[in-house]
Structure formats: C-alpha cells, structure tokens
Structure 1
Amino acid sequence: MRRILATAALLMTLAACSDAAGNGIATAGGTGSETTTASPANEEKDGRKFAQCMRDNGVEMDDPDPNQPGRVEIRERKGERDKVRQAMEKCRKFLPTPSKEDLEKALEGMQEMAECMRANGVPEFPDPEPDGGGLRLDAGPGTGIDPDSPEFKAAEEKCREHLPERPGRFKDGDR
C-alpha cells in the first residue's frame, strides 16, 4: 500500500508502502478558513481544478470537501507511483496556495514531527525539504521504516501534535 501526505503548495509528501495490497488514501490539509462556493473563481482555490486534472491524468481522486478548504485526498494503488508522480507534475499548478506564513508554519511543524519521530523509535524518518520539495518517505522492506509497525504507530500518535493545524491523516482505502 502506498500512502501520500500532501500539503497544498508546499506539497509535503509522505509516501509509504507496506506489504499489504490494496489502495491507500492520504489527505492533505491546507490552512484556509473560508468556505467556498461552486464558482469558477473558487474552483482553483478549493482544489477542484487540481482534482479534475489528477483524474484527467489517470489518478483516482474525489473533489475536495468544500467544508475543508485546501484539503485534498489522493488514492494511489499499488504500482501507480509513476502515474501519480507524473500527474502531480502536470497538476501541481492547480493546488490551492497557502500564504508564505502558513507555508513556514507547516514546514516548521513537519520538522518538529520528523525530529519527534526519530526520537521516538523511527530513526530513519527524514527531515522535510525546505525548498518546497516536501517530505518524501519511502517505507517498507529494506528501508528501516515500516508504517505498520507498532513503533511507527506509537511515534506517529505521540508526534502528530507537531503537524500543522490541518495535518494529513492516513486512512485505509477501498479494498
């Protein structure tokens, strides 16, 4: 299973795979607070244009919830890593853009999360990339990171307080 955690614009991605077959859903939280309505001007703001672009490029993705501005969910099935990466390159320009302050706060929170994860039993957990490349984590056999391990789950629970206000959440996808 591959999971992706993306934060709009900064696009911090946490891609983790395990031995389990099936789909994963990752959610990404922005920091917007306004409620959007269905108008062309808001389609780009709330991520609908991004979601449509991803679907147009073969990635299973629902429209974002209008009650959670800036939050997107991406489903990546096993073996679709390259397809998702290619779609992200084409569609990244449509992601809702948080303010510079929100990006700095998100990066700071992700750095604290990484330090906390390492201090709590996941020594290979990487630092976020401050250039906007985000946080990429390949996990599974041979990487030293198993997101399904008790150590990872315990560290994640302990460290999630460091994530930005609307952190990504892992959810099991449809099987």
Structure 2
Amino acid sequence: MREKGITNFPDPNAQGKLDLNGNELNSNSAQYKAADDACKPLLPQGGAPPPNAAAVGAAQVKYAKCMRENGVPKFPDPNPDGGIDINGDTLGVDPMGPVFKAADQKCQPILAEVAGGPRIEKRP
C-alpha cells in the first residue's frame, strides 16, 4: 500500500492484523481505492472475507464422518476450538499411512466447500 502512495499505511500488529485508523487513512480517496485494488491479490484469499464459521464447522463434521466411512473409524469430530486433533496412538490407523491418505484424498472435496478448511493437528 505504501508503494502505491498510501505512505501512512500501518504494519500489521503482533497478531498479524491491521489496525486501520479511518481518521488517518482516507479509504474513500481514489488513490486509496486504486492502491487497495492493486494490493488485494496479496491478501489471504484475495481479500475475500473469511468463511462463515458455521459453514466451516459443518464441513469439518462432514469431513470427519467421511474419514470414518472410508477406513479411519476412530477419526474425531472437530474440537470446541474448531480444530481436529489427530492422535496417532488412538486413531487406529497410521496418519501417515496409505489408508489414512486414501481417505483424506477422497474426503478433501468436502473441505473445498469452504475456504481454509479445518485446522488438523497431528499428535504423535
């Protein structure tokens, strides 16, 4: 944005978010709009809003069910934080093995329904 003439555009904060002060940035100016259009492709998902949490949660539940139906019978449902915790000791199959990988490949289209898909955390 600064390279496109918005010299007072801030750096992201410690959490990686932008704190935009409308009093300091004239987001209605032609220069700002042109810079925003030029830089939007650099944003995650091209600046599109994040997926609806309910849609992500529903896709995660469908994904977990699909995994169970395709050879990973102990695949867990999403946790309350929205992630899927995979513990290789209790999963019943090797998360790096062919059965898990085949199920994951078959079930991936479910996650394509929403941008980002689930956070899957593999634990040894």
- TM-score bracket, normalised by the shorter chain, equals 0.5 to 0.7
Q: Which runs of 5+ in 1 are unaligned?
A: 1-36, 53-64, 71-96, 171-175
Given that 2:67 and 2:73 are in contact with CA atoms closer than 8 Å, whether structure 1 keeps it comes out as: yes
Secondary structure of the residue aligned to 2:58 is helix
Amino acid at match of 1:124: K
Match of 1:14 in 2: none
Given that 1:128 and 1:134 are in contact with CA atoms closer than 8 Å, whether structure 2 keeps it comes out as: yes
Match of 1:127 in 2: 77
- Rg: which structure is higher? 2
Match of 1:43 in 2: 12
Residue among 106, 110, 113 paired with 1:162: 110
Residues 145, 66 of structure 1: CA spacing in aligned structure 2 closer, same or farther, 3 A cutoff?
A: farther
Match of 1:113 in 2: 63
TM-score of the superposed pair, with normalisation by structure 2: 0.53
TM-score of the superposed pair, with normalisation by structure 1: 0.40
CA distance in 1, matches of 2:76, 2:90: 15
CA distance in 2, matches of 1:126, 1:111: 9
The percentage of aligned residue pairs carrying the same residue is: 33
1:140 to partner: Cα distance: 2.2
CA distance in 2, matches of 1:142, 1:109: 23
Q: Does 1:146 align with 2:103?
A: no
Secondary structure of the residue aligned to 2:55 is helix
Which structure: greater helix fraction? Answer: 2
Secondary structure of the residue aligned to 2:86 is coil
Q: After the TM superposition, which of the residue ranges 145-154 and 135-144 deviates more from structure 2?
A: 135-144
Residues 136, 109 of structure 1: CA spacing in aligned structure 2 closer, same or farther, 3 A cutoff?
A: closer
Match of 2:42 in 1: 66
Q: Which runs of 5+ in 2 are unaligned?
A: 3-8, 18-40
Which structure has more RCO (C-alpha within 8 Å, separation ≥ 6)? 1
Given that 1:139 and 1:145 are in contact with CA atoms closer than 8 Å, whether structure 2 keeps it comes out as: no
Residues 168, 137 of structure 1: CA spacing in aligned structure 2 closer, same or farther, 3 A cutoff?
A: closer
Residues 142, 115 of structure 1: CA spacing in aligned structure 2 closer, same or farther, 3 A cutoff?
A: closer
CA distance in 1, matches of 2:50, 2:43: 16
CA distance in 2, matches of 1:120, 1:157: 10
Number of aligned residue pairs: give it. Answer: 87
